Each structure stands twice: as C-alpha cells, then as structure tokens.
A and B are shown apart, each in its own frame.
Chain A
Amino acid sequence: MPKLYTTMLGKTVRSIARLRGGGSALPGLFVEKIDGSFVPNTLAQLPRGVVMISGTNGKTTTTKMVTELLESQGLKVFTNRTGSNFIRGVAAALLGEVDMRGRLDADIAVLELDEAHAVHFVKTVAPRYSLLLNVMRDQLDRFGEIDATTKMLTAIAERTTERVVLNREDPRIVSIGDSLSAHKATYFGLDPSLASHFPNDDELHNGPRAPHMSRPIANVTLEAFKDNTATFKIAGERLSTSLKLQGIYNIFNAAAALALVRTIIGDKADNTKLVAALANVTPAFGRGEQLTVGGMPLQLVLVKNPAGFRLGLSSFPAEKYATMIAINDNYADGRDMSWLWDVDFDSLRVSGVGEVSGIRAYDMALRLQYDEVEMAHVEPNLKKALTHFIHKYPDTPKRIYCTYTAMLALRRELGTITTVEVVS
C-alpha cells in the first residue's frame, strides 16, 4: 500500500491540474518527486501482478487489446491508457484510479512503457509477464542506437519473473529469446506467406530477408488477412474474425495480444471468446482513431518513426482522402528530423498532400519536394493549418499523419469542433 500522504497530496495535485486543463504528466511527476515508492507500493497490491508491454511500434494499440481481452476473461485491469508511456504517466494514471487510502481495485496491471523508461521501471517493479513487440529505429537521438534499444528490452526480459512473449519475426527480438531459459520464452508470429507485409528494421533498409532457416514455434500466428478479416492459428486451431482495427500492423499485434493473454490466463483461456472480444476492440486514441468533422470522417494516424510511418502509408491508401501531415520536434517527438528521409512518400504522389504543418512543417515540405509529391498548402501553425485543411476539403474524408505532440494539439483543437473522446 502506498503512503497515505503521498496518495492524498498526489490526488490533490491531480484535481488542481485537471481544473486548470493541464496535461496528465504533472501530477505523476509530482508524486515521483516526493515519494519514489508510490508506484511500486501501489502495484504490489495486485493479486495477478504487472504485465509490461514494450517495443518500438504498436505498444498503445496492443496494450488496449490486451486489456480488453483480459476483461473478456473476467479480470479487472488497471492500465495507463493515455499513451504517456513514461513512468510519470503510470504514476498519474494510478492517482486517477486509487482511492484516498491508496487502494487499487484491480486484479492485474497492463502497462506500456517506452524502452528507456521501462529499463528503470523494472528495477523497482518486476513484471510477472512481458511482451516485446519489435525493435525499429525510433527517436535515435534519445536512445543512441538500435542495438542499445535491444539491450534495454533484454533487461526487461531478464527482470520478468514468469514468461516473456516475443515476436519471432524480428531477429533482434528472437536474439533476446535465445538468451533466456527455454521455458521462459513464448512466441507469436506470422504465416510465412505474410512475411513480406511486415518488414523488420533490416528489411526496411536492405530489402527482403533470406528465408528463415529455423524459427521458434509460435503460440499464436496470424495466418491470413483480407480487408478487415483476420485468421489466427491458436494452438493448432484456426479462428477467423472481423476487426474494427485498421492497418496491417495492428492485425499482427492482435496475434501478440492473443499470445500474451493466453500465457497469462493459462489452460482456462477460452479461445473463441478471446477472438470474439478482439472483434470489438476499437483503435486507441490517435492510432487510426476515427472522428467526424462536418459529417465527414477524419482519421488520426500517429507516426513516430520511419517504420511506423511506412506501415501507415501502406495500410491506408491515399486515394479518395485528403491528406495532412503534421510534424513536431518536441522532446517527446524526437528532435532529429533525419527519420523523415527514411520514409518513402511515393505513394502520396498520385493524390498529393493537402496540408503540411507542425514546428518542422518545412522539413516535411522539403522531404516531399524530393519525392516530387505536390503540396497544396504549408502552414507551421497547427491551428491555422487544421482550419484551412477542414475548410478546403469539406466533402472529402480526411486523414492526418501526426507526431505525438502534434496529435495532442490537434485533438485539443478538434475537441472544439467535434466530439473527441477525453482520455486521461
């Protein structure tokens, strides 16, 4: 149980921050400062422990899937659903859930943490289970190098007490599995016929891999998908379902979520029920989230790194959509703009880009110029750009690719003209 005064002070700061319309991080930062044991002590109450989800791409959507799948099996789940995947984000989310005495009414916690923060987090909270999705070049200005990221994920795996669920299609993740004792690692994967849709980091840069010599046996594999219907092979059984999630990478992450939940629940897992629950999962905020503006759909696609941006572009065809791109370079976005040059924008050449915005709008415009993609308008100010974009294309569905802080700002603006789910 956390200390009484920490909980009370923290909850007070949270109320004040919310009154002022502030972000979710501040109260988290506050309790982190006054009492470093708040998070571990609060989580220690949970009878089924802590589940950690990390990796470069897909954490937020996968965490949402895992949470909803566990709920379908009757568990009460605590999760950090803001996508603020720093430790202070977890602290802030806990403050919102505990009562004044610090009690947390949940069976299990499912937490997504950014690799660099997860390494510190696991020193005080050993997860019972963890899921490691992938290693891609992401915000290298913060982490240094991709091999360094692999080391961080290895540390998470080593601190995990029960089982680690791993992506057998990512060679760097498989190498983490190789370093663990055999009974501790379990895998999710793809049918070989789908491999070309999911290039790993090396393949993104060097072209397709040589056929895998031997891959670990997977607990769950994604066998096929067409439109929004996916077929999974779960312990030898083939099960199909339609999905509300869009984007091929989300469908692969569904296999990850299934493998993790089956590992947590054990033999009692009801596969049919799990797959049915998966059908109802909607996209996490900003991850292909669909809003309505002026009677037309507007989709927000978060882009954080070259792999994610490329997967987004190949998942969502540009035709019949007006496209906007908003690139910020605040700390949470990554300051280095190099990553834009590792994304191929040829697929936007046919339709062009309606609006380019964000602090680094001109870096993005420069990038599009070199891929010879037409741009209708460039305006760094997000509010002005959004207004211009919406008014210029009143009768067209819209899609906005945006970095993390640009997405938060755009959602705020969109909240003044349409219904935007408040996530805190």
Chain B
Amino acid sequence: MSSRIIHIVQLYPKDMNIYGDWGNVLTLKRRLEWHGYAPVLTEYNQGDTFPQDVDIIIGGGGQDSGQTIIQDDLLKIGPKLHDLVEEGVPMLLICGLYQLFGNFFKTLDGTVIKGIGVLDLETHGGTERLIGNIVTKSHEFGDIIGYENHSGQTYLDKSMMPLGLVQKGAGNNGHDATEGVRYKNVIGSYLHGSLLPKNPAIADFLIEQAVIKRYGEFTPTVVDDRFATLARSAALKRPR
C-alpha cells in the first residue's frame, strides 16, 4: 500500500510562505500517510524546472515583496498551471497565490500585477486590513473556520463560485459576503489558521481527487479528528 506515491508540489515556499502555510502542506502529508499513501513533496521555487509528477498543488501567501519577486516566474509557468487546472489536478491556493491565479492585482498606488488568469477574478488593494477570525459556510464542506489577514479585496466574475459564504468576518472583499473561490478541483481562499488542519473535509477532498486521478479509486481510512472538532468549536466561540 505505502508504495502508492502521491506527489505534492508546493509553489514558491521561499517567497510565498507566511502565516503557517506549512500547516497545510504538513496536513496533506500526514493525512496521505494515514490514508495509506506515500506523499512526496517537491518544492518549486522561481527558476526551478517545473516537476513532471504533479498530483496536488499547494500555494501560500506572501508579502507584497514576495509577490513581486515571483511574478515573472509565475507568468512563465502560467500555461502549464492552466492545463493542470483544466485536467482536474486538485489545488489549494491561499491568499497571495489565490490572488495571482486571478486576472490581476491592482495595488493602491495603481500598479497592476498581472495574474495568470486561471481563475476569473480580480483583486484591488484596499486601505483597510481585513483581519480576524472568520467562519464561512459551504454546501460542500460545511462550516469553514479560519483566520483572515489581507488588504487585497477580491471580486469574482459571475461565472465563478465562491468557496463559502461569510457567516462572521470579511471574506473576499468585505462587501459581497463571498469567501474564496471554487473551480474544477481548485480551492482558493484567504483563510489561514492554518486552513487544512482545522478543516479536514477540505484536506480529504484534495487527497481524494488526487488519488482517484492517479489510481482510479480512493478508500479512506478513519482518521481521528477529535482534536480538529474540538479546535473548531473553540474557534467558533472566539471574538473576531
């Protein structure tokens, strides 16, 4: 069983890795192991050769300085990522890379950072930082619980589905009650905390899609999610 490899590719861990993004990678690794698979993690940084084997892609947040550094490289691998999205490769994109998978990010001073346009959405720099505990509701994953911390305000095109609807917090832009995006097997979100450990349903969705795509079927084992459940209910009671 354990010889069944699943390749996780982490995008730009050098420059886009903040607010516990490692927690998402670790959660995928461990849960894959617990489900009986052998995760292999490949880090992709700017200038690297894009890996051949890709079962799950995961990308995190960065500061504005990190986004500037990776921008050109991301545009270069954009077409490749576009194909992988359309093929149904599961992906988790948090914060900075969520924004750059969209059409553009226009900063407050008017600079336009071009995105790769895989997701039909756009982001505008805001004057206010949207910070605090957040809860959203998704018909697919139930309550999604995390912590947001962003000044970019993201707007989805009508053709795009949000990941969840905001119950408490700001979400994509603080105005339209949407949070994140859900397209093919891609999940984009502003949620840290980290997202996956406290929302194991999302972690298992990514794993299931990856395993089915590579091996045709997925038989999950029962993971002890007691602490995740208790951590979720503790988080729900905390102030913004």
Binding site for B on A (CB under 8 A): 137, 140-141, 144-147, 205-206, 329, 335-342, 359-363, 365-367, 369-372, 378, 380
Chain B CB within 10 A, most for which of A340, A363, A380:
A363
Binding site secondary structure of chain A: helix
Q: Contact at B192–A336, with CB atoms within 8 Å?
A: yes
Which residues of chain A have C-beta atoms less than 8 A from B80's C-beta? Answer: none
Known: A144-B129, A337-B193, A362-B230. A370 touches B27 (CB 8 A): yes
Contact of A146 among B21, B63, B230 (CB under 8 A): B63
Known: A336-B193, A360-B234, A366-B198. A141 touches B147 (CB 8 A): yes
Contact of A366 among B13, B63, B133, B197 (CB under 8 A): B197
Which residues of chain A have C-beta atoms less than 8 A from B231's C-beta? Answer: 360, 362-363, 365-366
- Which of chain B's residues has its CB closest to A340's CB? B20
Give 14 pairs: A residue, B residue, CB < 8 Å, sorted on A.
A137-B19, A329-B238, A336-B19, A337-B20, A359-B238, A361-B234, A362-B227, A362-B231, A366-B198, A366-B227, A367-B23, A370-B26, A370-B27, A370-B197
CB A329 to nearest CB in B, in angstroms, measures 6
Q: Contact at A147–B63, with CB atoms within 8 Å?
A: yes
CB A266 to nearest CB in B, in angstroms, measures 39
Contact with A along B6-22 (1 / 0, CB 8 A): 00000001100111111
Say yes or no: is B131 at the interface (Cβ < 8 Å to chain A): yes
Docked Cα-Cα span, A232 to B224, in Å, equals 51
Say yes or no: is B65 at the interface (Cβ < 8 Å to chain A): yes
Binding site secondary structure of chain B: mixed
Q: Contact at B193–A369, with CB atoms within 8 Å?
A: no
Known: A335-B133, A336-B149, A338-B23. A367 touches B197 (CB 8 A): yes
Docked Cα-Cα span, A362 to B235, in Å, equals 9
Docked Cα-Cα span, A336 to B149, in Å, equals 9
Contact with A along B174-205 (1 / 0, CB 8 A): 00000000000000000011100110000000
Docked Cα-Cα span, A146 to B17, in Å, equals 12
Say yes or no: is B217 at the interface (Cβ < 8 Å to chain A): no
- Which of chain A's residues has its CB closest to B18's CB? A137
Which residues of chain A have C-beta atoms less than 8 A from B132's C-beta? Answer: 141, 335
Q: Contact at A338–B194, with CB atoms within 8 Å?
A: yes
Binding site for A on B (CB under 8 A): 13-14, 17-23, 26-27, 30, 63-65, 129, 131-133, 147, 149, 151, 192-194, 197-198, 224, 227-228, 230-231, 234-235, 238-239
Which residues of chain B have C-beta atoms less than 8 A from A205's C-beta? Answer: 13-14, 17
CB B213 to nearest CB in A, in angstroms, measures 25
Contact of A370 among B14, B17, B19, B30 (CB under 8 A): B30
Which residues of chain B have C-beta atoms less than 8 A from A329's C-beta? Answer: 238
Q: Contact at A335–B147, with CB atoms within 8 Å?
A: yes
Contact of B147 among A338, A362, A370, A380 (CB under 8 A): A338
Contact of B20 among A146, A338, A359 (CB under 8 A): A338
Which residues of chain A have C-beta atoms less than 8 A from B193's C-beta? Answer: 336-338
- Which of chain A's residues has its CB closest to B17's CB? A205
CB A355 to nearest CB in B, in angstroms, measures 15
CB B31 to nearest CB in A, in angstroms, measures 9
Contact of A336 among B21, B65, B147, B224 (CB under 8 A): B147
Docked Cα-Cα span, A340 to B18, in Å, equals 12
Docked Cα-Cα span, A380 to B151, in Å, equals 33
- Which of chain A's residues has its CB closest to B198's CB? A366
Docked Cα-Cα span, A362 to B231, in Å, equals 5
Docked Cα-Cα span, A205 to B17, in Å, equals 8
Which residues of chain A have C-beta atoms less than 8 A from B22's C-beta? Answer: 341-342
Which residues of chain B have C-beta atoms less than 8 A from A359's C-beta? Answer: 234, 238
Contact of A362 among B13, B133, B234 (CB under 8 A): B234
Q: Contact at B20–A380, with CB atoms within 8 Å?
A: no
Contact of B234 among A137, A341, A369, A380 (CB under 8 A): A380
Q: Contact at B192–A338, with CB atoms within 8 Å?
A: yes
Docked Cα-Cα span, A361 to B234, in Å, equals 9
Q: Contact at A140–B19, with CB atoms within 8 Å?
A: yes
| Known contacts A341-B197, A367-B197, A370-B197, then 5 further A-B pairs from the complex at CB < 8 Å, ordered by chain A residue | A141-B131, A206-B13, A341-B23, A341-B26, A362-B234
Q: Which 4 A-B pairs have the closest CB atoms?
A: A341-B23, A338-B20, A341-B20, A362-B231
CB B205 to nearest CB in A, in angstroms, measures 18
CB A149 to nearest CB in B, in angstroms, measures 11
Which residues of chain B have C-beta atoms less than 8 A from A145's C-beta? Answer: 18, 63-64
CB B153 to nearest CB in A, in angstroms, measures 15
Q: Contact at B14–A206, with CB atoms within 8 Å?
A: yes
CB A200 to nearest CB in B, in angstroms, measures 14
Q: Contact at B238–A338, with CB atoms within 8 Å?
A: no
Known: A362-B234, A366-B198. A342 touches B20 (CB 8 A): yes
Which residues of chain B have C-beta atoms less than 8 A from A336's C-beta? Answer: 19, 147, 149, 192-193
Docked Cα-Cα span, A325 to B121, in Å, equals 42
Which residues of chain A have C-beta atoms less than 8 A from B27's C-beta? Answer: 370
Which residues of chain B have C-beta atoms less than 8 A from A362's C-beta? Answer: 227, 230-231, 234
Which residues of chain B have C-beta atoms less than 8 A from A365's C-beta? Answer: 227, 230-231
Docked Cα-Cα span, A283 to B113, in Å, equals 48
Which residues of chain A have C-beta atoms less than 8 A from B198's C-beta? Answer: 363, 366
Chain B CB within 10 A, most for which of A137, A145, A146, A371:
A145
